[in-house]
Structure 1
């Protein structure tokens, strides 16, 4: 009898743990529908968002639009595209700012704001959840590196 109860508690515990596990958002890189860039490699995206370049590979200006530090989408984006955690990213920008080599991208509060900024400036590049893509932006396919 005690074994059946123990197994029951284990199953309930497993269900609770699985229900509490955060689900990774499918994050995509987006540009304006009129932007001529057709695809980018992960390292090219990382270079734009880490301030290593301010241009697309074609030579056109690239204006990154970030999301705020409290955003799970932001954490997923930087983890996927740069391999940096939130604390590593903060350290990266602290060094860049301190040495006078740049400023972090302007940050907005959510995917709707990213889409709005991209619509206002076709040279912008941002990231949003894949299910937020609509006719106002175009998801960029990733090139192999």
Structure 2
């Protein structure tokens, strides 16, 4: 029984490690920002779309920020602390998880977010995926 549980735990960790992250926009959106544009949106430098962030730090958020902005959790916290302290910016609004990101992006024409690719449905459009 212990071996079976260990194998299942290892399999679930492997699956999580290989999950793709999808960057999504509203299904009716005509804008198709590049990966560099997406980085600027999520760093508060580009206001052309409203970024929808995920609350807390999870594997999806880690993969997204590492790949798109090249920032770790501590680097991102430091970045936003500096902007808030100098009055030059505020962190993006965040929601609880993938389902909430999809719902918010589907409801707002100018929203952009990121989710586990398995959470994508027809109410949003995928700009690109991160392996």
State the TM bucket, normalised to the shorter chain: 0.7 to 0.9
TM-score by length of 2: 0.83
Matched, 1:92 2:79: yes
* Higher RCO, Cα 8 Å, sep 6+: 2
What residue is the counterpart of 1:111 in the other structure? Answer: 98
Q: Give the number of aligned pairs.
A: 121
Deviation at 1:141, TM superposition (A): 3.5
Does structure 2 retain, via aligned residues, the 8 Å contact 1:24–1:76? no
Identify unmatched segments of 5+ residues in structure 2: none
What residue is the counterpart of 1:50 in the other structure? Answer: 43
Matched, 1:81 2:74: no
TM-score by length of 1: 0.76
Aligned to 2:121, which of 119, 124, 134? 134
Deviation at 1:94, TM superposition (A): 0.2
Please provide the CA RMSD for this pair: 2.0
Structure with larger Rg: 1
Matched, 1:34 2:32: no
Identify unmatched segments of 5+ residues in structure 1: 1-11, 56-61
Deviation at 1:30, TM superposition (A): 0.3
The separation in 2 between residues aligned to 1:96 and 1:126, in whole angstroms, is: 21
Matched, 1:102 2:89: yes
Does structure 2 retain, via aligned residues, the 8 Å contact 1:27–1:128? yes
Does structure 2 retain, via aligned residues, the 8 Å contact 1:25–1:76? no
Does structure 2 retain, via aligned residues, the 8 Å contact 1:40–1:141? no
